[in-house]
Structure 1
Amino acid sequence: MKPTVTIDACATSHQLLLAGLAPLDDGDFRAPCLLPTYSRGHLVTHVANKARAHVRIFEGAAVGEVRRIHPDGYDPDQAAGAGATRPATELRADLADCLQLLEGAWAALDDEQWAARGIMAAGPRTMVEIIGHHLRNIEVHHVDLDIGHRPSDWPALLVETELPKRLRALPDRASRAGLLAWLIGRGPAPDLLGEW
């Protein structure tokens, strides 16, 4: 079934991201963001590249094909670096175009096609799961851009769906004793292992 609530949340997040980027100039895009070694230009290029890759997956579902997120050998850091130094107007336009294409790919799917699968880096996922992944990426990377968007701005839908998943995985990402000590107020928050 078409995840209308998630589609609407993504469309709102897209508009907020584009509005947040609107006042930035070339120098702002060259400045570092909160991701190590990435400038804002790197991160905006990465988000646009990921949206473009998602378009391919969703278009595949529309024609009955199971498609991979990226071809073999794709290096996201290299791809982000290749577009990072473009002018601000070009970075914004590319992102806006990719997000519009993605929203169009979602609109083209009928209810049954949302159960189709695509191959993400972590393995096969349904279109419903992939759009949830996209919402998380948009919102987390909006915070990573360091332009005023904060975790407290995240939509309730994101928090309600992601928090239980992250809590289930938490014991595997920290010292269990350290985690317990923190949870009962007897120690600092432990360092988390692995990527988000």
Structure 2
Amino acid sequence: MRIVPIMACAILLGGCNFKAVPDPTLSARDTAFMALVPQAEDDPRYGRWLVSDPTKEAPGTIVVETKERLLYLVLPDGKALQYGVTVGDEAYGWTGRATVSRKAEWPAWHPPAEMIRRWPHVHAMEGGPANPLGARALYLSEGGRDTLYRIHGTNEPEKIGQAASSGCIRMRNIDVVDLFNRVPTGATVIVR
């Protein structure tokens, strides 16, 4: 009788169309800083997975599905890497097409003027574990102009899977390091 549940699990798992992706190698600074960032329980829905490409975009393209709270990096051979993200709150959401114009490790944060007007307590800060941009940032441009939106890490990993940002796409720090290592400047980003 015990073989029936085991066979049922094997059949169900055999139909799964995803595979875990190992963590990237971290520098000593990454390890030290990330140890100081608050930890959150990981929700498997928002983990880093190798999946069949649901986007149908060209390899190398980053696609953010805001309703699903998922980011895909399209790979060759019909595959994609899937990452969980935090997206823009309804009032601040952004959709469109952009290009990765710059990449930075543990970037400094310079909140835009409209954010400072909304939240006077925010201020510019150097990169580090308290910085809201987290471990890495991909700066997005549209038509050669900075959109002021970023794909970046976070110091609030508990918000992955939510609509809680001011329009930027936030990722777990380990995931943004993985994406940063895989994506060159000039990559296309589509936010739907």
**Structure (1/2) with the larger helix percentage:** 1
TM-score interval, normalised by the smaller of the two chains? under 0.3
**Structure (1/2) with the larger strand percentage:** 2
TM-score normalized with structure 2 length = 0.24
